[in-house]
Structure 1
Amino acid sequence: MKVIITVVGKDKKGIVAGVSGKISSLGLNIDDISQTILDEFFTMMMVASSDEKQDFAALRAELESFGEGLGVKINIQSAAIFDAMHNI
């Protein structure tokens, strides 16, 4: 299973540490990551994966809830969607 995760919010300390810790606790590995500050907003995009089958709806709910507590918006999408778009 491979996913694309995006994180956007007002920049503050601890976002990368918090999100990466949460992703690890959910059994995902960060394969690639990019982050930047645009004006005063933090943006991060990552590719994460798991060798084990994961409940995608549960992952989405966990990350959205965690993001709210951290003050950022976290979105997760299956990488299979992007693969399918390029095979049409």
Structure 2
Amino acid sequence: MRAVITVIGKDKVGIIAAVSNILAESDVNILDISQTILQDVFTMIMLVDISKCNIPFHNLSEKLEAKGVELCLKIQIQHEDIFNSMHRI
């Protein structure tokens, strides 16, 4: 089972490390990652494998959102099928 994580906010040191640490602690594997900085705006999309996640999905979502609040970022995770449905053209 896969999920998509999106991160948007003002660029600062440690964003990727903060998200990656939460994922590692939760046994979530990063399958693909794309990140860019537009002037000082950081954007990142991660495709992750949540099949071996050791906490419920809603807890993972809460941890990521809380880290976003702490870092003044917007961090969201969605199941891949929901993400694809919402972004279909």
Give your verdict on TM over 0.5: yes
Aligned residues: 85
In the TM superposition, structure 1's runs of 4+ consecutive aligned residues that sit over 6 Å from their partners are none
Structure 1 residue 12: Cα displacement: 0.8
**Equivalent runs, 1:14-53 vs 2, <5 Å:** 14-52=14-52
Over aligned residues, Cα RMSD in angstroms?
Answer: 1.9
Q: Which runs of 5+ in 2 are unaligned?
A: none
In 1: Cα distance, 2:13 partner to 2:52 partner:
31
Structure 1 residue 71: Cα displacement: 2.0
SS at match of 1:27: coil
Structure exhibiting the larger radius of gyration computed from Cα positions: 1
Structure 1 residue 52: Cα displacement: 2.5
Amino acid at match of 1:67: G
TM-score, length of structure 2 as denominator length: 0.83
